[in-house]
Amino acid sequence: MLQRVPTTTPAREKTPSSPKADRHSWIVLALATTTAALTGPGQTIGVSVFIDHFVSDLNLTRSQVAGAYLVGTLTGATLLPSVGRFIDRRGVRRSQIIVGLLFGLALANMSQVNGLVWLAFGFTGIRLLGQGSLSLIATVTVSLQFVRNRGTALGIFSTVAGALMAIVPVAMSFAISQWGWRVAWMVSAGVVPATVVAFAAFGLRDLPPGSASSTAKTHLDSDSTDRADALRSRGFWVLAAVSGSSGMLGTALNFHQIDLLGDAGLTSTAAAIMFLPQVLGSSIAGLSVGLISDRVGTRFLPAAGMALLVAAHWMAAIVSPGIVVVLYAIVLGAMAGAVRTTASTLLPQWFGTGHLGSIQGSLTFFTVGASAIGPVALAQLEQGFGSYRPAVLLLSIIPAIALVFSLADPKQTAHPRQTAHPRS
């Protein structure tokens, strides 16, 4: 686009490593992964265990709660590009401290909700600060810490974070059964900010520059695409189409999983257990994509994620008790793990790290916004058709289009800086 094609490998990639530096990098990866997992109370998987309590205790209908969730998610998504710019200006360490404290306040606020408007306001806070901002900071942290083996590191990050996050609804359910849902939110409000703020204060001190103000950042900026140029590139919109499709339809299938699989003949308990094979699929795909990106290349990774999403929709249309439903869950999980790792790996590779927070924030805006629309779209189509089968088949057109878009005209996909990475 408008950037000069670098003739040499950027200076930061020439920096020799040492055992001490390598150990520190893996420590940072562990801290960022745990931070991402602790966004669970702001994720759909964490909020889901509170839905019935909102309906019964606040005298709301399930549709009203879903509507409040939609409003909160969309409102939070609109602010994420600004969060990304803040990360670029202030750095991940300071950003994590501030966002961690605010996320704690948002979680505490959820314990006090007493009506529909307050609930929508509460959803806005936890979706913006947890699912959006804190996840964004953790991802940027890993991208900045690793240059060599970045894909592998991001694969481990997304895989382990997803597995750890699966513990969140179990822990929240236990807290609800012991002390009630309001106290459960307060427990989260104490544990989460205390942990992530401590991680940032004591574990991110030596993070390399790239999304922080420093002398070295001047060099990084000269080799990086800014947000405006990234938004004019085909590569960004390939990732937006792929991540948006994954966010929209993956969330839709998960949100309605109990009902969808119930129609296919599974009990509620059996349908809930199918979240476990998803974790397995996500783990395998996340690690595989990370290794492939480092050792083979990234040419077909966006398309592969969309092929898995199309396959998941087709399998959802014929799902039945037995091996088919297990395979469906594994494929759906594999899609999520593959897309998360692909997007996280390609952003710094294509656009550099000088403005990574801003660009990642813009991409997250599309992903989070789409995730709010997906459950509503699937519910409306199911109501119109009277069945999930035609609804999921119709929605499979969306990832099919994204797949074709990610394959067409490959030379124009990425920013010219990608020529510095011939393996890709």
- Kindly list the domain boundaries of the chain, sorted by start residue: 23-215, 223-416
The whole-chain average pLDDT of the chain stands at: 82
The answer to whether residue 115 scores a pLDDT higher than 70 is: yes
Q: How confident is the model at residue 220 (pLDDT cuts 50, 70, 90)?
A: very low
The answer to whether residue 143 scores a pLDDT higher than 70 is: yes
Q: What is the pLDDT of residue 206?
A: 59
Q: What is the pLDDT of residue 177?
A: 87
Of 16-20, 63-67, 141-145, the poorest mean pLDDT is in 16-20
Centroid of chain to Cα 204: 21
Q: What is the pLDDT of residue 414?
A: 52
Q: How confident is the model at residue 212 (pLDDT cuts 50, 70, 90)?
A: very low
Q: What is the pLDDT of residue 16?
A: 42
Per-residue pLDDT of 281-290, as tens digits, reads 988 888 888 8
- Tell me whether the CATH fold assigned to 23-215 matches the one assigned to 223-416: yes
Q: What is the pLDDT of residue 10?
A: 38
Q: How confident is the model at residue 155 (pLDDT cuts 50, 70, 90)?
A: confident
* pTM exceeding the 0.85 threshold for the entire prediction: no
Q: What is the pLDDT of residue 278?
A: 87
Higher-pLDDT residue of 102, 345: 102
CATH architecture of 223-416: Up-down Bundle (1.20)
Q: What is the pLDDT of residue 121?
A: 95
Average pLDDT estimate for 305-312? 95
Q: How confident is the model at residue 300 (pLDDT cuts 50, 70, 90)?
A: confident
Cβ-Cβ contacts under 8 Å for 301 (sequence gap 6 or more): 289, 292, 293, 338, 342, 345, 346
Higher-pLDDT residue of 208, 311: 311
Q: How confident is the model at residue 52 (pLDDT cuts 50, 70, 90)?
A: confident
Q: How confident is the model at residue 298 (pLDDT cuts 50, 70, 90)?
A: confident
**Highest-confidence segment of 34-48, 130-144, 178-192, 375-389:** 178-192
Percentage of the chain lying above the pLDDT 90 cut? 35
Fold of 23-215: Growth Hormone; Chain: A; (1.20.1250)
